[in-house]
Amino acid sequence: MKARDVAWVGLGALTALVLLAVGAGTVLRLSPYVAAVLIIGLAVAPFLISFERRRPTARDVVLMAVLVALAVASRAVFAFVPHFKPMAAVVMIAGIALGARSGFLVGALAALASGFLFGQGPWTPFQMLAFGAAGCTAGFLADRGLIPRANLSRRATVALALGGFAFVVVVLGPILDTSSVLLMVADLTPEGTLAVYLAGLPVNLIHGGATALTLLVAANPLLGQIARVRTKYGLG
C-alpha cells in the first residue's frame, strides 16, 4: 500500500473514531466538554503513534526536546506581559524545520510542559491541540515547498509573520476559546457562545501580534541554526 493510501486510510479511521465519539457522547449524554476532550485525544493519538513507529534516533528526540524547551521558555520570559506569548511562533518554526508530524508534537508537548509552570487544568487538551495544529500547519506548508526551511527572503519572512498572525487569530485562538465556552457557558446558546468568542478576540489579536513579531525577528536565525544542526549530525 502506498504512503498516500495509508494516509487516506488513517484519515478515514480517525474520522470514523471521531464520529463514534460524538455518537457515544450523544447516546451516553456526556457533557460537551468530556466529548470534546475525547475527540481531541483521538486527534492527537495518530501523531504520537506515527512518531513512535518512525523509530526516531536519540539525536532527533534531543533536537525536538530542545525546541520544546525553547518554546516553553519563550512563554515564561514574557509571562509578565498579558497575553503576549511567542510560543506559537517557536512551534511554527519547529514545524517548518522538522516537518508537520514533528511540528505537531513540539506544539502539543510545549503546551503540556508549559502547563506545569502556568497551571494544568481541563483547558490543557485544547492548548495541546491548538499549538500542535500551529506546528503541523507550518510543517505541512514547508513539506510542500510553500515555506523555505532556511534563508527566508524579506518578503517570505513578512508573509510568514502575517500568516502566523492570521492563524493565531482565526484558528489557534478560537480553539482555546472553545475551552472557555465549554467551561463558562452552562447552556450552550448561540448568543452565549458568540459572547465568549468576541471577548477572546482582543486576547487573540495580542497573541497574534506576538507571534508575528517573533517570526519577523527570530524565524531566519533559528531556522538557520536548526538547519546547521541537522546537517552537522546527519538528521533526517
Beta-carbon count within 10 A of 43 CB: 20
Please report whether residue 3 resides in a domain. no
CA distance 159 to 162: 5
Please report whether residue 45 resides in a domain. no
Please report whether residue 39 resides in a domain. no
What is the domain count for the chain?
Answer: 1
Please report whether residue 151 resides in a domain. yes
What are 6-61's pLDDT values in tens digits? 444 444 544 555 455 545 544 555 565 666 666 666 666 666 666 667 777 788 88
Distances (CA, A) of 141 to 18, 98, 132, 160: 25, 12, 14, 11
Beta-carbon count within 10 A of 21 CB: 21
Q: Is residue 162 within 8 Å of residue 212, measured between CB atoms?
A: yes
The one-character DSSP state at 150 is S
Please report whether residue 36 resides in a domain. no
Please report whether residue 138 resides in a domain. yes
pLDDT at 120: 77
pLDDT at 5: 44
Averages of pLDDT over runs of 10 residues in the chain (236 residues) are 44 50 52 63 67 75 92 92 92 94 91 86 84 93 91 94 97 90 77 89 96 96 92 75
Please report whether residue 179 resides in a domain. yes
Quote the distance between the C-alpha of residue 195 and its chain's center. Answer: 25
pLDDT at 103: 92
pLDDT at 187: 75
Sign of the CA dihedral with 126 first, then 127, 128, and 132 last: positive
pLDDT at 201: 95
Write out the residue range of the structural domain in which residue 219 sits: 57-232
Please report whether residue 29 resides in a domain. no
* Torsion from C-alpha of 199, 87, 221, 144, nearest 10 degrees: -80
Length of the chain: 236
CATH number where 64 lies: 1.10.1760.20
Amino acid, res. 116: F
What are 190-203's pLDDT values in tens digits? 888 888 899 999 99
Q: Is residue 128 within 8 Å of residue 40, measured between CB atoms?
A: yes
CA distance 50 to 217: 33
Question: Whose CA is closest to 107, among 164, 182, 24?
Answer: 164
